[in-house]
Structure 1
Amino acid sequence: MTRDQAAVLHAAAGAVPAGGAVVEIGSHHGRSAVVLAAGLREGARLVAVDPFPDDWRYGAAGTEQRCRANLARAGVADRVDLRVATSADVRARWDGRLDLVYVDGKHDHWTARADLGWADHVTPGGWVLVHDAFSSLGVTTALLRVLATSRTLRYVGRTGSLARLQVAPPSTADRLRLLGELPWWARNLVVKVLLRLRLRPLARALGHGDAADPY
């Protein structure tokens, strides 16, 4: 998460009214949860959802404890309802309205597509923010599939690879704006392949100077 992306999260959380609710999908060590919780007004709450599996790809054993410790260290633990469960399990039982959803869960197509279903709980005019929206095959194809036919969710823009979606009827311009991001997405996929092949000079030639994947 870049500083600019953190600023978007913080501002979006700050726009949530007192008594409002935010859901975060995928908390890991709690960095984005800290940013969101710090931006909330008095009385608003953040529900952070992560199953914290004992898998090296998702943080391995001890990730939940590190997340809770980071929330406490930042002084926001009392604003965060951390639920150790899958997004699907929590959404199946959810019956309230939301003002903001932040999606940064598993990046395969089917999980990302299901996570976008949280938009059904967001009040009109509210926001759905999606991390790694244009640096992952699964997340991008899920976005394309959902937004191609949605009548209630519009693509507004991006900050790096953080997509901003609003719960509102989309226009033709909104749909074309999403398609206009595809060349940048394709470039990011090429960069990821080059990094895995240890061809960083070629990645730099494409404008990527970081050792980490584009985000």
Structure 2
Amino acid sequence: MPEYPQTSADGRFSEIWTLADDIPGWLTEAQAELLHEQALALPSGSLAVEMGSHQGRSTVVLAHALDQRKSRLVAIDPFVDGRLFGGGRTRILFEKNIATSGVADVVELVCDYSTSARKNWTRGFDLLYIDGKHDYWTVGDDLKWRVHLPEGAPVLIHDCFSSIGVTLGILVRVLPSRDLRYERRAGSLALFRVGRPSGRDRLRILAELPWWLRNVVVKILLRLRLRPVARLLGHDSPYDPY
């Protein structure tokens, strides 16, 4: 069984973040550092899976860390058309950003829905990053990919305790589960690990609910154009908390 040590990001992270930060997206520096840390801690020759790549902001971070471990990344994204996603144009930008960042040979693109790709997937892998569609049903299906992970493998979920759909998925699918334990988060990026959870692990999930409720209130205030009120809750941005 491979070991997954708790490793801090090395000195190259600042260089990698400089590349990634030029790519549009919703990944913060602290979240990128957590992704980098977990990918860098994988055994040599590992495989990681990312669900939801957009223009490649998180992909570049993961791929550079994996490259240092002689490992690879499978990026799964359907690149559907739509106001928020961009379809084929976004795929072009993704492939350009991956190539420009020097990790094209590390990344294998699967242009498909994660729910469809899962049905025929047979390969084992060592890290799962979920940042696809944020509804309850898709998140629940994406969590099923963990059957291909070994004990101790990291499962990272973006917009956890921030999105209603994602958080409901965690409460229903993860809180009562017997094979995922919650460790910590960087903003809305939560780190879980394959393994039997303790009662304390479950309580840590519940302890995040006040922060989730705060984020839901902030989103409502922003949609009502009440940003000054949102500032009273510590949110000084026109964008949703992530």
TM-score above 0.5 = yes
CA distance in 1, matches of 2:107, 2:43: 16
Residue 115 of structure 2 is matched in structure 1 by 88
User: 2:42–2:69: 8 Å Cα contact kept in structure 1?
Assistant: no
The answer for the alignment partner of 2:43 in structure 1 is 17
Q: Within 2, Cα distance between the matches of 1:135 and 1:211?
A: 15
Q: Once superposed, what is the RMSD of the aligned Cα atoms? A: 1.0
2:193 to 140, 149, 166: 166
Q: Is the 8 A contact 1:34 1:71 kept in 2?
A: yes
One-letter identity of the residue aligned with 1:108: D
The residue correspondences of 1:168-187 to structure 2 (distance < 5 A) are 168-187=195-214
Name 1:200's counterpart in structure 2.
227
Kindly state the Cα deviation for residue 54 of structure 1 after the two structures are TM-superposed: 0.9
Corresponding letter in the other structure for 1:166: R
Q: Deviations over 1:19-76 (max 9, x none)?
A: 1100000000000000000101343110000000011122344000000000001000
CA contact (8 A) 1:102 1:129 kept: yes
Cα-to-partner distance string for 1:103-131 (whole Å, 9 max, x where unaligned): 00000000011111111111100000000
In 2, the alpha carbon distance for the partners of 1:202 and 1:179 equals 26
Q: Which amino acid aligns with 1:76?
A: V
Cα distance between partner residues in 2 of 1:126 and 1:203: 37
Match of 1:144 in 2: 171
Counterpart residue identity of residue 193, structure 1 = I
SS of structure 2 residue aligned to 1:125: coil
CA distance in structure 2 between the aligned counterparts of 1:26 and 1:91, rounded to whole angstroms: 14
Task: Output the CA distance in 2 between the equivalents of 1:92 and 1:60.
Answer: 23
Q: Post-superposition shift, 1:211?
A: 1.2
* CA distance in structure 2 between the aligned counterparts of 1:42 and 1:207, rounded to whole angstroms: 39
Select which of 88, 97, 106 maps to 1:70.
97
5+ long unaligned stretches in structure 2: 1-26
Structure 2 CA distance for aligned equivalents of residues 47 and 60 of structure 1: 19
Kept after mapping to 2: 8 A contact 1:203/1:209: yes
1:100 to 127, 134, 147: 127
Q: Distance in 1 between matches of 2:197 and 2:144?
A: 16
- Kept after mapping to 2: 8 A contact 1:100/1:122: yes
How many correspondences in the alignment? 215
- Partner residue in 1 for 2:4: none
CA distance in 1, matches of 2:222, 2:69: 44
Q: Which residue is 1:46 aligned to?
A: 73
SS in 2 for 1:24: strand
In 2, Cα distance between the equivalents of 1:126 and 1:184? 26
Distance 2:69 2:236 in 1: 40
Q: In structure 2, how many angstroms separate the alpha carbons of the residues matched to 1:138 and 1:120?
A: 22
Q: Which residue of 2 aligns with 1:116?
A: 143
SS in 1 for 2:156: strand
Inter-partner Cα distance in structure 1 for 2:217 and 2:141: 26
- TM-score normalised by structure 1 residue count: 0.97
Hey, what's the Cα distance between the residues in 1 that align with 2:189 and 2:207? 15
User: Matched residues in 1 for 2:181 and 2:173: separation?
Assistant: 10
Which of the two has greater strand per residue?
A: 1
Percent identity reads 53
**Mean CA deviation greater in 85-94 or 157-166:** 85-94
Structure 1, unaligned runs of 5 or more = none
Per-residue deviation, 1:148: 2.4
